[in-house]
Structure 1
Amino acid sequence: MAIVFITGSTDGLGRAAAESLLDHGHRVVLHARSADRVATIGKLSSRTAGIVIGDLRSAAETRGIADQVNAIGRMDAIIHNAGVYTERSRGATPEGHASTLAVNTLAPYILTALIERPGRLVYLSSGLHRGGEGSLGDVDWTKRSWDPAKAYAESKLQVVALAFALARRWPQVLSNAVDPGWARTRMGGPGAPVDLDTGQRTQTWLAISDEPAAMVSGRYWHHLRQEQPAGEALDLQFQEQLIAKLEELTGIALPQA
């Protein structure tokens, strides 16, 4: 049985993934933004292998999350599920970054760089990532007028490119990106067409399945099928430029293979 860490797992797709894995006998480490969020998960807390706490908007707290996970032990898989959508303004994190960039891109990068390397990495993206090309000129939105939809699309393109870059750099790790679809979560709303079980199925399958179809790396998935991502995500130069930019913004170098 595997042990899996899931970011943003007190509700929505993250919680659905946690419950699915627990129901199938796996061990799960949950992540909550705050102690108040932990109080909302009820009996689920007693079934977990641990709960780590920290706000992904803060680089310092994100580093703390990595320390908490490493103290529990090496994970078999990590599902980078947490994300924000269409923030009304650029906002400013404690480090001065745009909130969407911090949560959707910088936090997964920091956690990837600092948590002991697992066997599998799964990054949640979105079909909207295809509208995010051309982001590295002003990745932190310091020059452009704020565009919530564009910022979200760019961040989701960046995590696909990150997943693919890691598949190349860390060949012993299975690293993939997933579009879960427009799911009925707090973010997606009650009218979304995808139910929670369908929305969580691909990422949990990639995290724990030994089926040959799941034992691949550097792919983009939607509802258990591989799909073609945006061209920029596949571009090796873009991937390397993105890694360099993330190292610059965070002050954290990605470990070598």
Structure 2
Amino acid sequence: MSTRWTTADLPDLTGRTIVVTGATAGLGEVTTRELARAGAHVVMAVRNEQKAADILRGMGPTKGQIEIRHLDVADLGSVREFGWNWSDPIDVLINNAGIMQVPLAHTRDGLELQMATNYFGAFALTRTLLPHITDRVVSLSSQLHRTGHVRLDDLAWKTRKYDDLAAYADSKLAVVLFSSELQRRLTAVNSPVRSITAHPGIARTSLASHAGGLTGRINYLGPLLNTVEQGALPTLYAATQDVPGGSYVGPDGLASIKGYPTIRRPSRTARNENLARDLWDETNKVVGADLAFAL
């Protein structure tokens, strides 16, 4: 049952360090602001540092400190540099960065851009930072993961006919599978760290403002959708509340499109442990030995 949890229910986060990727727009910007207002030391891990600085100047006073560090999650080299140069304890890593329905493009690592940004980058960043994480990893997915498929033989979309929405859905399914598999492996080694998945429902952000079809018109559906502030609530809830590892947190409304954060259930495919294990193994091969998990 929903408790109608809001930012007013955030605990005092003084003394906690939280890394937020993709913090220069939408959900990431709101997440950063609210965590800092609650006292956290928030690290904005972003590709565009100038944009982050502009946002920070307009954010107003916060109880906690906000720091900007460069990170391009779609570039495994950037992930390596960010992660291997990190030395301080991290309470929470929030894998928020994401893109949606972009034209077919491949990164310098040969990865399809949406999979690289939404999934591979989160996987690799978690791998590099995990030795420093003391509390939890929160990874952002989408209800569109329910339409996704994982093609282990073509994760980079090199042999299939490209479909931008399908690529997005696939990347978000991969996130849920990764997040749940990470929790199983953490549990197996008696780690206190939790892995949690969150999704915003459908929020009125700029994520798909360039896209055609329904996803390109989401900002016009008004009362049917979450505001950006509401859409950030599941992330904030997953990052700060006593949520069991392996949880899937999303809005409590019909089809989890809108509402207040609660623990939901991902798709049957997302709960397939064999598929999650196979994806984990294949991802280890893709990202390379130095970014592969030993768990």
Common fold: TM-score over 0.5: yes
- SS across alignment from 1:77: strand
Pairs aligned (count)? 249
- Tell me which stretches of 4 or more aligned residues in structure 1 moved more than 6 Å: none
Which residue, 157, 165, 179 being the options, matches 1:141? Answer: 157
Q: Rg larger in 1 or in 2?
A: 2
Worse-superposed segment, 222-231 or 138-147: 222-231
- SS across alignment from 1:175: strand
- SS across alignment from 2:90: coil
Consecutive unaligned residues of structure 2, counting only runs of 5 or more, are 1-12, 210-218, 252-260
CA–CA separation in structure 2 for the residues paired with 1:4 and 1:95: 28
The amino acid across from 2:263 in the alignment is Q
Which residue, 93, 105, 108 being the options, matches 2:119? Answer: 105
Deviation digits for residues 184-206 of structure 1, max 9, x if unmatched? 21114443521122111111122
Contact 2:44 2:52 (8 Å CA) reproduced: no
Worse-superposed segment, 105-114 or 53-62: 53-62
Consecutive unaligned residues of structure 1, counting only runs of 5 or more, are none
Which residue, 70, 73, 86 being the options, matches 1:56? Answer: 73
Residue 227 of structure 1: how far off its partner (Å) = 1.9
Deviation digits for residues 48-85 of structure 1, max 9, x if unmatched? 342111222211012122245x24x1111111100010
CA–CA separation in structure 2 for the residues paired with 1:230 and 1:144: 24
Residue 40 of structure 1: how far off its partner (Å) = 2.7
Deviation digits for residues 105-160 of structure 1, max 9, x if unmatched? 11000111001234111111000001112432311111101111111001000000
Contact 1:163 1:176 (8 Å CA) reproduced: yes
Percent pairwise identity: 27
Which residue, 127, 149, 165 being the options, matches 2:181? Answer: 165
Worse-superposed segment, 128-137 or 2-11: 128-137
Residue 97 of structure 1: how far off its partner (Å) = 1.1
User: Which residue in 2 is equivalent to 1:233?
Assistant: 270
Question: Compared with structure 1, are the counterparts of its residues 109 and 134 closer, same or farther at alpha carbon in structure 2 (3 Å cutoff)?
Answer: closer
TM-score (norm 1): 0.90
Q: What is the RMSD computed on CA atoms of the aligned residues?
A: 1.8
User: Which residue in 2 is equivalent to 1:255?
Assistant: 294
Residue 233 of structure 1: how far off its partner (Å) = 1.6
Residue 35 of structure 1: how far off its partner (Å) = 3.0
The amino acid across from 1:129 in the alignment is H
Question: Compared with structure 1, are the counterparts of its residues 45 and 165 closer, same or farther at alpha carbon in structure 2 (3 Å cutoff)?
Answer: farther
Worse-superposed segment, 17-26 or 183-192: 183-192
Contact 1:58 1:94 (8 Å CA) reproduced: yes
CA–CA separation in structure 1 for the residues paired with 2:115 and 2:152: 12
CA–CA separation in structure 1 for the residues paired with 2:150 and 2:77: 28
Residue 95 of structure 1: how far off its partner (Å) = 1.2
